[in-house]
Amino acid sequence: MARVRLDEIDRQILKDLQANGRITNVELAERAGISAPPCLRRVRGLEAEGYIRGYHADLAPDKLGFEVIFFALVGLESQAQERLKAFERLVQDWPEVRECHMVRGGGDFLLKLLAHNTAHENELTQKITSAKDVIRVTTFPVIRTSKAEPGIPLDEAPAEAAET
């Protein structure tokens, strides 16, 4: 199912799946105003085209023993592509690193990490600091999270962003 642009039905399907990944196809179709078989075809098409990257459960870190969330701004000695890629490959294997973003200004990477406690946070910080090519690490422990909204603000997405 090749699309040039997402239509309102596609956007509604994406919005509903983002809000509730366990919604039944029948309910999804009803909410989108179409019958179940074409709804399922649309969902499969959206998956195949990469609009839907996957489905997951949103777990509570503190309930699972991760009491500390922190960010680390990491500066490397060199911004040569091979060194940047090497750092990205390195942190891929660290399960506590939940996000790794290459950034501009003040550092090269921003990491989001989970730790069991402050001692574990310190261990992880030391692990980052001692990694090859790392010359600077600034950590930002999270005190409180007032908003953690997963997904994409679909109502705010420009229509032309959906062009392929």
Could you give the 3-state DSSP secondary structure of residue 4? Answer: coil
Q: What is the pLDDT of residues 12-51, one digit of tens each?
A: 999 999 999 999 999 999 999 999 999 999 999 999 999 9
- Nearest alpha-carbon partner for 1 in 53, 37, 55: 37
Q: What is the pLDDT of residue 48?
A: 96
Q: What is the chain's mean pLDDT, rounded?
A: 93
14, 154 in Cβ contact below 8 A? yes
Residues counted in the chain:
164
Q: What is the pLDDT of residue 146?
A: 96
CB proximity list for 68: less than 8 A, separation 6 or greater? 114, 115, 116, 117, 118, 120, 121, 141, 142
- Nearest alpha-carbon partner for 128 in 91, 164, 84, 98: 91
Distance CA 63, CA 4 (A): 43
Domains of the chain: 8-57 (1.10.10.10), 61-141 (3.30.70.920)
